[in-house]
Amino acid sequence: MSDNFIPFSRPSLSDAAINEVVDCLQSGWITTGPRVKQFETQLKDYLRAPHALAVASATAGLHLALLALRLQPGDEVITSPLTFVASVNAIVLAGGKPVFADIDPHTFNIDPQKIKAAVTPHTKAIMPVHFAGLPTDLDPIYTIAEQHNLRVIEDAAHAIGAYYKDQPIGSFGDTQVFSFHPNKNITTGEGGCIATHDEDLATFASLIRFHGIDRDPANYNDKQQLNHHYDVALPGFKYNMMDIQAALGMHQLNRLDDFIDKRTELAESYQAILTQLPELTLPQAPKYNHKHAWHLYTPLLNLERTKLTRDQFIISMRECGIGVGVHFQAAHLYSFYRQRYDHKEGDFPIAEDISKRIVSLPLFPDLSVAQQDKTIETMINIFRSK
Ligand SMILES: Cc1ncc(COP(=O)(O)O)c(C=O)c1O
């Protein structure tokens, strides 16, 4: 990749964050320890959540949160087909059956009316995905959950810093899982967080995120605090976050609101200029009050007007030094989901249509105005030269 290449995403790491990692490396304690503890306290405060657990990734967090529901064979979890496959895989790995409900064509988030229609006597949970950092319409979802006694595990991988009706995602509701992968709004390299209002879920997840090891002092008269004084209540995973990762996260979280301001500015510039292009359909805001975290900027190609396929568009942009992503292919059409659950083209037409046309344009806090201008100009030239 040339130095001038403009990627679709790039983390912004301050000297303070890099120095914190170096301090951590030199401290002699690099795995889970004091920095993870501090990062968890910061997360709890930022999210205004009663419990915040740092984990190895959002995938791990979703897996743990769903395992806490103790799904039985045949139990169903309703989710969006327009998501990264990690959301759906986690349902299967936790022993559940993913059931898809189609999305709203304007916001690309799961449609609460379609959720309502998908509820069966086997439904145990709903997993909305806050696509691109735009909060899903949660009120009707929590109403459906209350009516049918369902849990709600929000896939908030894109949504740290987003608000739904004046409340931060993570500060209310049931359980939310955030991602700190390098292309997300804050990063710890790899990493994630479970926020929950359910104390039992928090206890269970903190137990099985690290081998099922239980050091509850209630079980031990542990005056000597010896390392081998623990019980194993059940077999757990190795889903802990390291202090090296938390060292980055502590500093990233301090900058999150500024990052989102910058992302918002850039997204608004895209919206203002690109609205003139007939080759694009732009993302639309829902009517309810919200703050978008702008993890991704995702217009749709109007393929009947572009005269080139999406792949040709992405290749042309790459040849001009600009990275374009695709988020996401409709999850129900991957071969495992087709074969196991008999899904086929046409099952969720809105998600399928959008997944064929969607592109993610460069959006990250350090994207300069000149780089954004170059991105827009290049797109216009590509559309006009066809
Ligand atoms: C919607 C969604 N859910 C879950 C994940 C998984 O996150 P992680 O990479 O932290 O496991 C991602 C990652 O891109 C995602 O986009």
CA of 59 to the centre of ligand 1 (A): 6
Closest C-alpha to ligand 1, atom 7: 58
Centre of ligand 1 from the C-alpha of residue 130, in Å: 11
pLDDT value at position 229?
Answer: 84
Distance 250 CA to ligand 1 centre (A): 20
Q: How confident is the model at residue 227 (pLDDT cuts 50, 70, 90)?
A: confident
Question: Is beta strand 280-281 parallel, antiparallel or unpaired with respect to 300-301?
Answer: antiparallel
Residue nearest to atom 14 of ligand 1 (CA): 84
Q: CB count, 10 Å around CB of 310? A: 18
Angle at 176 between CA 174 and CA 177, to 5 degrees: 150
Model confidence over 184-208: pLDDT tens digits? Answer: 999 999 999 999 999 999 999 999 9
Mean pLDDT of 138-142: 98
CA distance 280 to 361: 12
**What residue's CA is closest to ligand 1, atom 9?**
181
Residue of 8, 9, 84, 326 to mutate, ligand 1, most atoms within 8 A of C-beta: 84
Is 300 close to ligand 1, i.e. is its CB under 6 Å away? no
Q: 267-287: per-residue pLDDT in tens?
A: 999 999 999 999 999 999 999
Is 291 part of the annotated catalytic residue set?
no
**What pLDDT does 35 receive?**
98
Is the CB of residue 154 below 6 angstroms from any atom belonging to ligand 1?
no
Q: Measured in angstroms, how far is the CA atom of residue 311 from the centroid of ligand 1?
A: 23
| Ligand 1 near 86 CB (within 6 A) | yes
Residue-wise pLDDT for 291-308, tens only, equals: 999 999 999 999 999 989
Residue 384 has pLDDT above 80, yes or no: yes
Q: Please say if the pLDDT value at position 219 is more than 70.
A: no
All domains in the chain, ordered by first residue: 15-254 (3.40.640.10), 256-385 (3.90.1150.10)
181 CB near ligand 1 (under 6 Å)? yes
- Which residue among 97, 124, 165, 184 is the active-site one? 184
Q: Which atom of ligand 1 is nearest to the CA of 190?
A: 10
What band does 221 get if pLDDT is binned at 50, 70 and 90? low
- In angstroms, the CA 351 to CA 345 distance is 10
pLDDT band at residue 148 under the 50/70/90 scheme = very high
220, 229 contact by CB (below 8 A): yes
Ligand 1 pocket member 179 (CB < 6 A): yes
Percentage of the chain beyond pLDDT 90 is 94
**Atom 15 (ligand 1): residue with closest C-alpha?**
84
pLDDT at residue number 222: 63
For residue range 67-109, list pLDDT tens digits in order: 999 999 999 999 999 999 999 999 999 999 999 999 999 999 9
Query: 360 CB contacts (<8 Å, ≥6 apart)?
Result: 8, 9, 296, 297, 298, 324, 325, 326, 327
* Residue 179's pLDDT band (cuts 50, 70, 90): very high
Q: Is the pLDDT of residue 386 over 70?
A: no
Ligand 1 contacts CB of residue 133 (under 6 A):
no
Span from the CA of 200 to the centroid of ligand 1 (angstroms): 24
Nearest-10 Cα torsion for 246, 251, 256, 257: 140
Q: Is the Cα dihedral 21, 24, 30, 35 positive or negative?
A: negative
Q: What is the Å distance from ligand 1's center to 302 Cα?
A: 27
CB of 192 shorter than 6 A to ligand 1: yes
pLDDT surpassing 80 at residue 220: no
Nearest C-alpha neighbor of 177 from the set 200, 201, 210: 201
Tell me the pLDDT tens digit for each residue of 6-57. Answer: 999 999 999 999 999 999 999 999 999 999 999 999 999 999 999 999 999 9
Q: In the predicted model, is pLDDT for residue 1 greater than 60? A: no
Is the pLDDT assigned to residue 337 strictly greater than 60? yes
CA-closest candidate to residue 13, choices 257, 179, 182: 182
Give per-residue pLDDT as tens, 253-265. Answer: 999 999 999 999 9
Residue with tokens 């559309």: 383
Atom of ligand 1 nearest to the CA of 191: 10
Ligand 1 centroid from CA 177, angstroms = 9
Predicted confidence (pLDDT) at residue 3 exceeds the cutoff of 80: no
| CA atoms 17, 19, 21, 27: torsion sign | negative
